[in-house]
Amino acid sequence: MKRLFLLIFILTSALLFAETDKPEENSKSEAPVDRQRQVLLYGIDSEVLDVLSSLQSEGVDTYNPLLKELLGEIRNPDIRSKIFQLWEITKWEDGVESAENELRKVLNDDLYDVAVIQAAAYYLAQSSDKADIHLLAELSEARDSRIAATAVRSIGKIAEKSSIPESEVEKVGEPLLQKFLKEDAYEEDELTAALIVTLGKLKYTPSADALLAVAEDEGSPGGHRRFACVSVGKIGRPEDYESIEQIYFTSKDANLRAYALAGIAEFPRDSSDILVQALKRDSFWRIRLTAAEKLGNIPAGSSAGEKLDELLRYKASIDPVKQVRMAAMKSLGKRSGTVNDQFLIDYYADINRSPELRIAALDILTENKIKGSVEAVSEILDKLWVKDSERFMEFTCRNLSRSEWDELAPLFERMLDHPNWLIQVYGVRGIRKNGLSKLEARVQALDNDKTDGRLVQEIHRGNPAPNDENQ
């Protein structure tokens, strides 16, 4: 009898456990969790660094508000640096106060890490409309020349991006000029170079004599002479033009000549003739590169006119150096016009050209919002939709997903219909980057049992986990 009861107990227990382990037939699977968010919240340092590197390469700004919250508790300097770098890459402006607080650590003699300070300063410079230029000016007096040089460069970046009132230029420029005059150019090579560049970007006229002296002095460090040529041009005193022109025509240093040409192009006068000849004939590719870049700034109605556009198209097609071809294409995109626009569209569509240069042409088309670009890309998608053996369609979709142009909406929507999950991901990213809310329902419709998990993760990027205290 005891054996019978024991057998019944064992069988009953087995059935009970079996029933307990059996999943409910009608239960729904848990809502997808954003794994990148989870790593940022709870992951170890190496995992967080990997996620931040991925976000930087993809230019994803989804987690910036979360990272701002977490910055106060993060101690790893590599992570802190990457956060500021991500904010700079994604042009996110709501972290300015955090960056300024980081810089004040130097002024307040608190503990700081040089790499973090540098990352915060460069981010602040990118947010020029909100940046405190006087804070950076104070930082330029830091004892650590690495920090001082970073602050000076950041001031230059702000001056380059936004118009600084003349009274402010005087307040910032004069201390920088005095610092330049007293620094040893050889002992403080990087700091001196930064001062030369920034004084030019500030267009601080009282510094012109000192900068011209460096440009003309064969005994000065080569890098300083090159930067000085450009800065003298940016300041643009008419009496300095011939001096920079002479360096361009007489120097045996090809690199110095390239910078002198860049300086010539900065003067407020028509330099198209010199630039055209440089692009046409010069054997040194860096000089042709400089000429191709600067010719894009020549007004469309200048004396060069159609001949200039024809030259740029020629160089974009067959210059022996890839960088020169790219620079010529960028200038064509700036100058625009029916013929130039069609040239760039045809360049992108031409299967006989280098895929790298074709993608560069695509970027120029979208950056300049050139009419006809959407139709050209659509034709490429038609041709490669089934078989993309060279991955050209993939790279096209990737770069489109990084573009800010709502006219690309039909292409992003079409990407959602592709059988490859990666193409669909690029469609989702493009839709969200451009704020195309009317297509969000299409994105959400992709979230089903048959969808690749990597696409599901993209759809739910930024979603907090259940009971996440940081919701």
For residues 267 and 256, give the distance between their C-alpha atoms in angstroms, rounded to a whole number.
17
> Which two tokens mark 411?
């292409």
| DSSP string computed for 378-399 | HHHHHHHSS--TT-HHHHHHHH
- Report the candidate in 310, 322, 318, 273 with the shortest Cα–Cα distance to residue 294: 273
R_g of the chain, CA atoms, integer Å? 29
CB 348 within 8 A of CB 378: no
Q: What is the pLDDT along the chain (471 residues), one digit of tens a residue?
A: 445 444 444 444 444 334 333 334 333 345 566 889 999 999 999 999 999 999 999 888 999 999 999 999 999 999 999 999 999 999 999 999 999 999 999 999 999 999 999 999 999 999 867 678 999 999 999 999 999 999 999 999 999 988 888 889 999 999 999 999 999 999 999 999 999 999 999 999 999 999 999 999 999 999 999 999 999 999 999 999 999 999 999 999 999 999 999 999 999 998 999 999 999 999 999 999 999 999 999 876 666 677 899 999 999 999 999 999 999 999 999 998 999 999 999 999 999 999 999 999 999 999 999 999 999 999 999 999 999 999 999 999 999 999 999 999 999 999 999 999 999 999 999 999 999 999 999 999 999 988 999 999 999 987 665 555 554
The phi-psi region of residue 369 (left if phi > 0; otherwise alpha if psi is between -120 and 50; otherwise beta) is left
**Residue whose C-alpha is closest to residue 117's, from 139, 128, 129, 102:** 102
Which spans in 251-354 are helix H?
254-266, 272-281, 285-295, 305-318, 322-335, 338-349
pLDDT of residue 162: 85
Residues in Cβ contact with 459 at an 8 Å cutoff, skipping those fewer than 6 apart: 32, 428, 443, 444, 446, 447, 451
Q: 87, 88, 44, 89: which is closest to 66 by C-alpha?
A: 87
Residue 333 C-beta-side C-alpha neighbours within 13 Å: 24
Residue 72 to residues 38, 78, 98, 273: CA-CA distances in angstroms? 18, 14, 9, 56
Q: What percent of the chain has pLDDT over 90?
A: 82
pLDDT attached to residue 465: 54
Q: Going by C-beta distance under 8 Å and a sequence separation of 6 or more, which residues neighbour residue 66?
A: 37, 40, 41, 470
Q: What is the pLDDT of residue 463?
A: 64
pLDDT (0 to 100) of residue 16? 38
Classify 426 in phi/psi space as left (phi over 0), alpha (psi -120 to 50) or beta: alpha
Give 67-71's long-range contacts (Cβ < 8 A, gap of 24+): 67/40, 68/94, 68/95, 68/98, 69/470, 70/40, 70/41, 71/95, 71/98
Q: Which helix (H) or strand (E) holds 211?
A: helix 208-216
- Write 61-70 long-range contacts (CB < 8 A, 24+): 61/86, 61/90, 61/92, 62/461, 62/462, 63/36, 63/37, 63/462, 64/90, 64/92, 64/94, 64/95, 65/94, 66/37, 66/40, 66/41, 66/470, 67/40, 68/94, 68/95, 68/98, 69/470, 70/40, 70/41
Q: What is the pLDDT of residue 7?
A: 47
| CA distance from start to end of the chain | 60
Q: 189 φ, ψ to 5°? A: -60, -50
Spatial distance between the Cα atoms of 60 and 432, rounded to a whole number of angstroms:
10
φ and ψ of 174, to 5 deg: -65, -45
Tokens of residue 240, six digits: 């300095």
> Alpha-carbon distance 71 to 61, whole Å?
15
Check the CA dihedral 107-108-114-118 and report its sign: negative
CB 204 within 8 A of CB 177: yes
